[in-house]
Amino acid sequence: MDSILSAIITLTSFLGMLTILVFVHEWGHFIVARLNGVKVDVFSIGFGPELWGRTDKKGTRWKFSLIPLGGYVKFFGDANAASTPDAEGLDTLSEADKKQAFHFKKLSQRAAIVFAGPLANFIFAILIIATFFYLHGQVNTPATVSEVRAGGAAEAAGFLPGDQVVAVDGKEIKRFKDFQTQVFYSAGETMTVRVLRDGQSKDLIVTPELKEYVVNGEKIKDQNGAQVMLPQIGITNMEKLVIVEHSIPSALWAGVIETRTIVTQSLRGLRQMIVGSRSVEDLSGPIGIAQIAGESARKGLDYWIQMIALVSISLGMINLFPIPLLDGGHLLFYAFEAVLGRPLNENIQEFGFRVGLVFVLGLMIFVTMNDILKISW
């Protein structure tokens, strides 16, 4: 019975998270399209056959579809959900209809509409993070070294208890959490850490090592029972937590900074996977995200909402990758159009969408298999 309940929590929390994020993303496209005079034919949560829907006064069909793994907005003049132009249909439009068609809008308007989806995901995440900072404050533990573990990379680099970390590779460090983040995304990569010691600055060279994650003498395992391995240098911080209270403006700005940090470090991690210095096992697909959603939901509503913010940032980032079929692919085509002074040949665009489809499907299969292999059967 417990396993059934756990499965229900995982599934509902995942589908709920996905529905919210897809709605936010597509609403970004929708609202900017409406502001630019584009008629929206369909606003769909999910793909495939319609399960339920209604049509509003402006002719937009709002619906839930059978396959709940995404969604789309179909503009007037689109041939399909990927927003490829209906070449034959566009040629027969009247002048009045052309004013409502997406593909007859200015390049700047089309780019703004496409960019609005990922932007909505980033703004949504910022608002969630800022709300938590405003209501609960922001943890701001000083980046002080309390203990240096024997035999670790930090000891070899010359760290001493009492060192105050002020920068890593030239980037300012204000919180111990910021230092932890830099270490986490630097496995196998040499870091130059500037510390303050007895009032004087000193640069230390250290390379984080992948080791078992241990808390209070207990080895930490993931939801599948596998030992968690994390990049570490062998220091601890036992400073008292400092909670910084925020006004609404400062909370919003702190939300922007936190979101920027997450994006920067995520891109850094992706680069490491591409060059081979980080394992691709860190990539998660639908199954892995569902497990994370379920785990956060079991911890409480606050954890689940914070996880929504993190996934929203990931969704915004992924959609901006210059891959045809994704928003970034459309923006790439628009960049060529801006340079050439005309749209790319339709055959080239069609070929690009086919390549993008193969790539996205291949990536989905890869990350799903990755998730399955990580499950402890």
Q: What is the DSSP string of 102-160?
A: GGGS-HHHHHHHHHHHHHHHHHHHHHHHHHHHHHH-EE----B--EE-TTSHHHHHT--
Per-residue pLDDT of 200-231, as tens digits, reads: 899 999 988 877 776 666 666 665 666 767 88
Q: What is the pLDDT of residue 351?
A: 85
Overall average pLDDT of the 102-107 stretch: 88
Q: What is the pLDDT of residue 366?
A: 82
Per-residue confidence band for 196, with pLDDT thresholds at 50, 70 and 90:
very high
Catalytic residue among 26, 95, 189, 239: 26
**What are the extents of the domains in the chain?**
2-36+105-135+309-374, 141-241
Using the structure block, give the residue that is written with the tokens 């789309």.
72
Considering the domain 141-241 in this protein, what is its CATH number? Answer: 2.30.42.10
Q: Is 26 an active-site residue?
A: yes
Residue type, 376: S
The residue that leads in pLDDT, 56 or 346, is: 56
Q: What is the pLDDT of residue 377?
A: 46
Average predicted confidence (pLDDT) for the chain: 86
Continuous segment of H or E residues that includes residue 235 = strand 235-236
Beta strands in 32-149 (DSSP E): 40-55, 61-75, 138-139, 147-148
| Helix, strand, or coil (residue 191) | strand
Residue type, 77: G
Rg (CA), the chain: 24
Question: Does residue 78 have a pLDDT over 80?
Answer: no
* Burial class of residue 216, CB neighbours in 10 A (0-12, 13-18, 19+): exposed
CB atoms within 10 A of CB 55: 12
272 phi and psi, to 5 degrees?
A: -65, -35
Continuous segment of H or E residues that includes residue 36 = none
Per the rule left: phi > 0, alpha: psi between -120 and 50, beta: everything else, 49 is beta
Using the structure block, give the residue that is written with the tokens 């009492």.
162
